[in-house]
Amino acid sequence: MNMSLRIPRSIQAKLRVIAILLSLGMVVGAAIAEFVLSRTRAVTELVVNQTAALSLLQAADMSHEGLRSVAYESLLVGQIAQVNADDVRKGVREHAQFMRDAMARLATSDIDADLRAELLVGRASVDRYLDIAQELISAALVDRSAAQARLPQFNAAFDELEDVFHRQIVALRGHNQRAVDHAAEVKTRADLVVVATALIGFVLTAALVGWTGRSIRNSLRKVEAVASAVAGGDIGRRAEIEIDDEIGRLGCAVNAMADKLQHMLAHALDDSERHRFGRELDAALEMADSEPDAYRVVQRAMAAVSPDRAMELLVSDSSQAMLQRATEHPSAGAPGCTVDSPYYCQAVRGGNSVTFNDSEALSACPRLRGRPGSEGAISAVCVPLHFMGRALGVLHSVGPAHRAMQPHQLAQLAAIGAQAAARIGVVRAFERTQLQAATDAATGLANRRALEAAVRELMRKKQPFALLMADLDRFKMLNDTYGHLVGDDALRLFADAMKKAVRDHDIVARWGGEEFAIVLCGSDAQEGCHWADRARTGLAQALENGKVPKFTVSFGVADSTMAERLDDLLRIADEALYRSKEHGRDRATLGSALAANEPMTRQGSEHEEKIDVTRLGAAV
């Protein structure tokens, strides 16, 4: 785009003609003006000089008030953080210098001598006021109490100078008004001469402007066409600028406006893309019902942020003491951060995202240097994951040194960190709630409702299992003899022994009181009896430490082949448990499918004794 100062010939020729005609008119007008100005120049100069003197005196008056403000501010140094000594000293210097310069200029003003002498009467008051003000401010910066003692003297000097300025301003305004009135009289007479000249000049100028206006209208239409196109949405349209005159500058302004609109549109599109990414990420995470589901969504989001930057999500365990990799970039892989605790991660500890442009920089995270597989220095971004004040982990990404991620990529990483943390936190909270609802508080085992749900699911899928009902022998006697706290310890010891005896996919639940239920998946009743014998042996070994008085347990065993309904299967196992009690306790008895249709025959056995669950829960 050529922006030289050369003017095209067509416009130059028209301007030359206008210049010649105007020059002739100016020669004539100059002769007339000289005649008029010779009569008005002296009066006008006097008015101008007196007006300037009035403005200077008013400015000095304002500066003397400003100096008072600075003096009072000096008393606040050390009291208010916004007021500091350097600003006060600077203000003192500026106001003092201005007032002295003003008085010096008034001394040399080209005004009436008597009026100038009257204005200089207050110079001594100015010097005295400045000296007192500077002493007060210097004292305030050292000893505030001493400065406060000088305030009455300072205020008196201020009032004295204010009265002097007021009198002088009033006097100067009077002189000035009289000079203005005289100048108006002279001007009125001169206007009669000037009007005639102005009429001639107006006619000539109107003709020249009309002629010139038609010549530049075509250029303006070109700029207008570009502006209309840009306003209509064609923001790529630009004006062809060839000259640096008013039209050329207007064209440049239109082009600058189009550039700005194009930039704003690109920025708006970036914002829209970020919002779209955030909405899609939120929708995807909303459908994640577990932590692995959420990690898969984060992995796909990593690929959307950048296809070639290594990324990983490190998540803390339930204790918040350890960080482990939950997922990584599907194609670029994981950066391999060695941090293993939230406390040792700067981003998690500080609660804000951190960016490192060069791993070799002195202020870079030391865990970025010397990573296996990295060639030379790297850059990194770490986004912390927090949920309701708890640290959940960190989203870590690396790339080549000094090649920072784009702003929209950083915004996307921040969105992943915030929304993933929220979803993971909600999922964990829900899982804790589910676990608490299905867990016996005293023993940490599954409760009756959880076991029933699990057994019904096994029966629905027609998967074989063995069901054992267990009851601690003479538990009421143990409670009565040693107290409920010892009884609670016995329940917990038995629960721990059973958990150690089963496999990971088996279920141990507290049925109620001192009664327990065990489900051995994929086993039958015979295998259940053998398991019960091993469990009784394991219990006896656990009691050898002497922390809990020795006790035994009786089992009743059934399996899924004996009944099609859970209630019937429970009746079979319970009946077998009753027979174990009748035949001496501390044994396992195999149930019979016939017991499902027989009424219960227990009468007054210890099997009916139930522990006080309310008191047990309170003790725990």
List residues with catalytic annotation. 514
DSSP state of 472: E
Please report, for residues 29, 169, 187, the alpha-carbon distance to residue 35 in angstroms, rounded to integers and kept in the order given.
10, 34, 12
Amino acid at 312: E
Cα–Cα distance between 139 and 148 in angstroms, integer?
9
Q: What are the helix (H) ranges across 438-501?
A: 448-460, 475-482, 484-501
What are the C-alpha distances in Å from 569 to residues 487, 587, 592?
Answer: 29, 20, 10
Ranges assigned E (strand) in 125-164: none
- The CA dihedral of 607, 611, 612, 613, to the nearest 10 degrees, is -110
Picking from 385, 368, 373, 212, the residue whose alpha carbon sits closest to that of residue 315 is 385
Run of H or E residues at 87: helix 85-107
Amino acid letter at 73? E
Helix (H, G, I), strand (E, B) or coil at 171: helix
Q: Are 133 and 92 in contact (CB under 8 A)?
A: yes
Q: How far is CA 330 from the centre of its chain?
A: 29
Rounded to an integer, what distance in angstroms lies between the CA atom of residue 361 and that of residue 354?
14
Q: What is the DSSP letter of 594?
A: G
- In angstroms, the CA 343 to CA 384 distance is 12
Separation of CA 527 from chain center: 61
Q: Burial letters for 576-601: b for 16+ Cβ neighbours within 10 Å, e otherwise?
A: bbbbbbeeebbbbbbbeeebbeeeee
Given a contact cutoff of 8 angstroms between Cβ atoms, the answer to whether 342 and 317 are in contact is: no
Sequence-separated (6 or more) residues with CB below 8 Å from residue 32: 193, 194, 197
Tell me the two tokens of residue 287: 């459908």
Return the DSSP state at 439. Answer: B
Q: Is 366 exposed, middle or buried (0-12, 13-18, 19+ CB in 10 A)?
A: exposed
For residues 32 and 193, is the Cβ–Cβ distance under 8 A?
yes
Distance CA 184, CA 173 (A): 16
Nearest to 301 by CA among 440, 417, 134, 172: 417
Task: DSSP for 509-537, please give it.
Answer: EEEETTEEEEEEET--HHHHHHHHHHHHH
Q: What is the dihedral of CA 138, 144, 148, 149, to 10 degrees?
A: -80
Q: What is the C-alpha to C-alpha distance for residues 333 and 397, in angstroms, rounded to an integer?
A: 10
What's the count of helices (H) and strands (E) in the chain, helices before strands? 16, 10
Beta bridge partners of 558: 467
Q: Compute how many other C-beta atoms are within 10 angstroms of the C-beta atom of residue 462.
A: 7
Between CA 492 and CA 445 the distance in angstroms is 9
